[in-house]
Chains A and B, each alone.
Chain A
């Protein structure tokens, strides 16, 4: 076991450069992945985790090349299976700081089953879901998050699939940390990444990521300075839900379980029943996951970013460890000869 002061020294002296591998990054120029990689490399030295304890596990897709570019332990797995690989790794080595890197196709289509089961089991690790609403590596087919009607290589007449709502799915799968950020808001992304890592349990971060080749501008309304303020809502614990441009501020109030937009003049002019963000409330988080533009044709609801939901629940690897320690305490450490002999023997002389 390492002395804690030694760990501190090791980790304090590290910089983002120490987390950069010697491999050339091969995403398309202008890809949103570059920003996400940079933010991850920026926060890693600040986490206080020795580099050898950090592992990135990915599936298949553009985003899944991520581990190759970090000078940590890493595995580029197979399509959709990163959550299961990470579960096995965390089960045998609970000290590791594991990051699952996945995309909308990898996590929600081919690997959908593994994602939901990882979330309910609540292994202590982080899942970064790069959502670009398109299949990039296979060159431009629609994905399970593409809006209905999306024109893509495989849907020249528009897709007829209804898309997934990833955060509602995560809540339904009993996730204990449900959050959203975006590639083009580096500061917010870094903040959410740190919060995700601080959370004990499976932390899901949906990251809106622009694919400038096959689905350019899918999230532009949330990132463009001209529209960002009226389309986004940045959640902070204990803060009222207010968004909009100066002079056109809107507060969100709850009438029963129905959210409503109320125009306000300033932050001092908050209605009494303004919705104050409390990420421990699952029911409210469920409502937040439904904030899409089309929720109410008369009111344009903003897209929430930040931590929608957070819950403390014992992690799988701890329960697993406790059971083993309990069995050893009760029966004593396993004795191989006793096992081989079994309860009934006879001897031939």
Chain B
């Protein structure tokens, strides 16, 4: 038994197997345990659109990538140190991302002739038995056989026993990284509460894996990843969709409004609906509508009725909601629309991430229909972004678009969560009664051009709203040409005035001027941050800016950009923010693009940026 622990600062593990192998759960447990160990981390689940794709095929591979470290972690990592391959397809589809000399933990049972054929290995040749994996450290384990032996007397059937394989693998990895089993043991007891046989079997599989690694002497040393120097405080693990949902609940609480969430299930946004529907004791009303249009229009009805109306979807669903967003712009009611972006167009890549709905968010409505657009930039930022989207909607009586994406939605990070009392209260513009018996005008505005919120049920404020063009104060229907132009300008100016209530653009990293500025938005934050940090260390004159408010832009953004010779914009689309910056500020910004349904690797950004740095 090796007694030496080899200290390493960060590790990237990819768990991969069939979509029914419990891969996401295994990865989630390793993450949870690492977070309790005090590591910083970032995760990236990568799974197929099919629920149970054909077993053993390349299309059916589900992956969970995790980076954890004793240093600050910005992304789930470019390449893996360890690849856990439950079958041949899992190995084949992930091998090109494994570092040279990296560790492969392969389940021998997943490499039988049937699996090899399904994974399209030429002539059914087994990579575990030829020389093709010579550059790696391969640990071949017959996980199926050992688990079956260990659980022979568990009283479970073969199918149920085989479902415990993932716990064996998890135990094995816990030994490798010197982790305690306690968190996962507790999890097993809770998950299978009341099913003692299953609890015992899973605990046994977990411990068997741990003991197997200990006695098999497969490793000369165990690895030690010490706690990361994270800022002091209390942390929890958070995935982006849950953070976003909590942001909505928090905003409802802090504004004194009821939360109404109208939604139609769609990947990768459905989790927000699942999460919110569990919190009815907060008074949250979730409404699974008959379609995307009913999802948003029911939220508009709720907003008319004085609630915080929210809807969420992904690109194709957002497209269906477009007309209703125009109605909300016209009515001037508070409404939050969340777009958890995925690869497109059309059905596209439902489970993959992309940032290609930025134009849709900012420009994608008929006629002149300006709407504020905000973007979350990491799983932990989703909470604050949702809270801020609600604040703007409520305080400025406008629909607001909040952008997230598949990577943020399902990814997780340690989160130093706020206390409820730290959150700035949100003040709605609800009217209780008509002022001093004066006649009530629904579209009378304050200096920020914001109207009041007159809710049905309030005596004396009876009024009609609608999608037709209206007069500026009374809100009566008007087709007058001069009036229309005036109203278009008023609605635009009202949105523009929001810049006075948002933060100025800050420099994330580097000096305030220099050779090169890398400008990002959304989920590319971690990769850009890591890349720019390294380039600064390498001595380049480079800085980083990450834009959270995409419409309107912070008022100092133009000045910030103009202090750099070169402006580069990495995006997971074909250059949408870059195009907006060029048109808004007349700056020769250059795009760095990737449209593969996958996040940037740090190295990809570095290499592209270096081309401009010479």
Chain B neighbourhood of A337, CB < 8 A: 419-420
Residue in A closest to B467 when the chains form the complex, CB atoms = A78
Chain A neighbourhood of B111, CB < 8 A: none
Q: Is the C-beta of B250 less than 8 angstroms from some C-beta in chain A? A: yes
Chain B interface residue number, banded: 35 or more
Q: Are B302 and A334 in touch, CB under 8 angstroms?
A: no
Chain B neighbourhood of A323, CB < 8 A: 280
- Identify which of B283, B299, B306, B466 contacts A67 (C-beta below 8 A): B466
Q: Are A73 and B464 in touch, CB under 8 angstroms?
A: yes
Residue in A closest to B417 when the chains form the complex, CB atoms = A340
Give the distance to chain A from B416, nearest Cβ to Cβ, in Å: 8
State A137–B242 Cα separation when bound (angstroms): 45
Chain B neighbourhood of A4, CB < 8 A: none
8 A Cβ contacts from B228-258 to A: 230-238, 246, 249-250, 253, 258
Question: Do A89 and B464 contact each other (CB < 8 Å), given the known contacts A340-B417, A340-B419?
Answer: no
State A70–B456 Cα separation when bound (angstroms): 14
8 A Cβ contacts from B292-314 to A: 293-294, 297-307, 309
Q: Are A348 and B230 in touch, CB under 8 angstroms?
A: yes
Q: Are A334 and B282 in touch, CB under 8 angstroms?
A: yes
Q: Are B302 and A88 in touch, CB under 8 angstroms?
A: yes
Q: Are B297 and A88 in touch, CB under 8 angstroms?
A: yes
Q: Is the C-beta of B274 less than 8 angstroms from some C-beta in chain A? A: no
Q: Is the C-beta of A13 less than 8 angstroms from some C-beta in chain B? A: no
Residue in B closest to A120 when the chains form the complex, CB atoms = B290
Q: Is the C-beta of B554 less than 8 angstroms from some C-beta in chain A? A: no
Q: Are A91 and B285 in touch, CB under 8 angstroms?
A: yes
State A342–B417 Cα separation when bound (angstroms): 10
Q: Which of A68, A323, A344 has most B Cβ within 10 Å?
A: A344
- Identify which of B35, B234, B236, B302 contacts A91 (C-beta below 8 A): B302
Chain A interface residue number, banded: 35 or more
Q: Is the C-beta of A21 less than 8 angstroms from some C-beta in chain B? A: yes
State A320–B479 Cα separation when bound (angstroms): 41
Q: Are B465 and A74 in touch, CB under 8 angstroms?
A: yes
Chain B neighbourhood of A340, CB < 8 A: 246, 250, 417-420
Q: Is the C-beta of B463 less than 8 angstroms from some C-beta in chain A? A: yes
Q: Which of B331, B460, B463 has most A Cβ within 10 Å?
A: B463
Q: Are A51 and B462 in touch, CB under 8 angstroms?
A: yes
State A85–B457 Cα separation when bound (angstroms): 16
State A11–B50 Cα separation when bound (angstroms): 58
Chain A neighbourhood of B418, CB < 8 A: 340
Q: Are A339 and B249 in touch, CB under 8 angstroms?
A: yes
Q: Is the C-beta of A207 less than 8 angstroms from some C-beta in chain B? A: no
User: Can you offer 29 A-B residue contacts whose CB atoms are under 8 A?
Assistant: A21-B464, A67-B466, A71-B462, A73-B456, A73-B463, A75-B304, A76-B466, A78-B323, A81-B294, A88-B260, A88-B298, A90-B301, A91-B285, A91-B301, A92-B285, A92-B305, A93-B307, A96-B457, A114-B293, A323-B280, A327-B281, A328-B281, A334-B281, A336-B282, A337-B420, A339-B279, A342-B417, A344-B32, A349-B232
B interface, CB within 8 angstroms of A? 32, 35-36, 38, 183, 227, 230-238, 246, 249-250, 253, 258, 260, 262, 279-285, 287, 289-291, 293-294, 297-307, 309, 323-324, 326-327, 331, 417-420, 455-468, 476-477
A interface, CB within 8 angstroms of B? 21, 23, 50-53, 55, 57, 60, 67-68, 70-78, 81, 83-93, 95-96, 113-114, 117, 320, 323-324, 326-328, 330-334, 336-337, 339-342, 344-349
